[in-house]
Amino acid sequence: AAAGPSGGGGQPPPVISLDDDGAAGGAADRRGGGGTAGGEESRRALERQIAAAARQRQTLRAGHILPAAAFADEANESEEKCLRGHDALKAVAAHDSVGGGEVYSDVASAAHLAAGTLPKAAQLKALRAHLEQAKRTLAAALPSLGSLLEGTVKAGFDVGGAYLGFCSERAIVVNLAPLLRRWNEAGSPVELLLTLSHEAAHLLSEGGAHDSAWRQTYDELIQAAIVAGVGPAPGAFAGVGRRA
């Protein structure tokens, strides 16, 4: 089932604004697609990838976002495990103090999330709003991707994990616990956009490897947000490690 509203009351924050310099130029240089023709072809290729993922979704069991075959090499993944066919996190009905709705939690934190006794509850609520902002940013840049991600992206809270996200057969889970430990209100929206793009690229490429195909998809997602004028503001990537 789709997660409930996690912004926690009031109007949702707007998508991140972008001027025409700074980070935009840097991302165009990285992709080598700064020209109109190259940028348009990258966009078309990305849209074809999204359409293929949407078609495949219709062939899967209800509620699934990836086929079981995508997890065949899960045990052999030498890098951080971005695909997890099975995971110990459990869906918890979260207290209003942390934004309400649903959170995928480790066992030890579940009771605190449900009862509203979690330390730094206000900051976690803000992180969940930032995650919603990241979803809106990608949806504004790529409406077809927004439709694919609807009901798919879940807020996670795993205090024992240093990872920031993973794809399961049913969801993209973004782990907010590490961001809560190093709370940075200004940097969190950018890091969450990068994390969500990172995991969406795994969803679209149907694999856990951080290879050239995954990298191209990941970069194209970031570039699409920048070209659409809804990506990070100039200089926003400074001091934020890109997940790769």
Q: How does pLDDT run across 187-219, given as a tens digit for each residue?
A: 889 999 999 999 999 888 877 788 898 999 999
Q: How many CB atoms lie within 10 A of CB 244?
A: 13
How many whole angstroms separate alpha carbon 110 and alpha carbon 33? Answer: 45
- Given a cut of 90, whether residue 18 has pLDDT beyond it is no
165-167/172-175 β-pairing: antiparallel
Sequence letter at residue 132: E
Question: Three-state DSSP class for 95?
Answer: coil
**Average model confidence (pLDDT) for the chain?**
76
Residue 83 CA: distances (Å) to CA of 32, 92, 227: 29, 21, 29
- DSSP secondary structure code for residue 193 in this structure: H
Taking CB atoms within 8 Å and a gap of at least 24, the contacts of 34-40 are 39/223, 39/227
How many whole angstroms separate alpha carbon 143 and alpha carbon 89? Answer: 29
How many whole angstroms separate alpha carbon 200 and alpha carbon 144? Answer: 13
Residue 36 CB burial class (10 angstroms; 0-12, 13-18, ≥19) = exposed
% the chain with pLDDT above 90: 38
- The residues near 214 (Cβ < 8 Å, ≥ 6 apart) are 201, 202, 205, 207
Residue 57 has what pLDDT?
A: 76
Partner residues linked to 97 by β-bridges? none
pLDDT tens-digit readout, 146-188: 988 888 899 999 998 888 999 887 888 999 999 999 998 888 8
- The residues near 85 (Cβ < 8 Å, ≥ 6 apart) are 68, 71, 74, 168, 169
In the structure, what pLDDT confidence band is assigned to residue 67 with cuts at 50, 70 and 90? low
pLDDT tens-digit readout, 227-236: 776 555 544 4
Partner residues linked to 154 by β-bridges? 173
Query: Which of 1-15, 42-56, 105-119 is predicted least confidently?
Result: 1-15
